[in-house]
Amino acid sequence: MDVARTTATSDAPNKAVHGECPTMQVPVSSDFRAAKARIERDIGTPGLGGLLTAYFDPARGFAGATFDGLGVNPRNEITRDDLLAVTLLDVRWLPSAVRRLLGEGRSQATALLVGISSATSLWEASDGRLEAINPLWNLLTRGSDGVEPALASKLLARKRPRLIPITDTIIVARVDAMGQTWQALRYCLQDESLR
């Protein structure tokens, strides 16, 4: 996943319109507008508030708050607790990925985490802030040890919950902004009513 891709350029007819979003520096693509319309409709789904409450209620058996609060979560280090927390979201790590992330790749991951803001929310993030994620994303997803995009996004969301959303196949398909899911979500969340 190339999180650094930006919205459509002037070379793409009918794909970009100068936007209503004052904090975005680039034109707003029609894909982003369509994603926002879908999210606005989805948020109006009857019973959604109750489902969200249940997800964060420890008595209900869902991961919710446990994902964020399990064990220790040092800002700039991937730990065993992080890997365990991610498994609460119905994914599993291959042993080779665990060895890589807690062994040979640990110091590089730490150095890359230092360069990713933990104080910035996605809706406030510049393109540069999102681009800073690319090297760590590439480190996580390289190789054949099973760190697929959904698994990587869950780990990154644990480390930078304000900046990096979980983007599994369901979210990517629903947003439907090819290769620009985080940018589309950033655009949507700039509307306070969608946070």
DSSP 136: H
3 state SS of 188: helix
What is the rounded distance in angstroms from the CA atom of residue 167 to the CA atom of residue 59? 26
Q: Is the dihedral of CA 179, 183, 187, 188 positive or negative?
A: positive
What pTM value is reported for the model?
A: 0.83
Query: Who contacts 150 (Cβ-Cβ below 8 Å, separation ≥6)?
Result: 91, 166, 167, 168, 169
pLDDT, tens digit, 9 for 90 and up, residues 39-78: 999 999 999 999 999 999 999 989 998 999 999 999 999 9
Which range, of 25-39, 139-153, 164-178, averages the lowest pLDDT?
Answer: 25-39
pLDDT of 180 strictly over 90: yes
What is the rounded distance in angstroms from the CA atom of residue 35 to the CA atom of residue 145? 32
Q: Specify whether the CB–CB gap between 68 and 161 falls below 8 A.
A: yes
pLDDT, tens digit, 9 for 90 and up, residues 79-125: 999 999 999 999 999 999 999 999 999 999 999 999 999 999 999 99
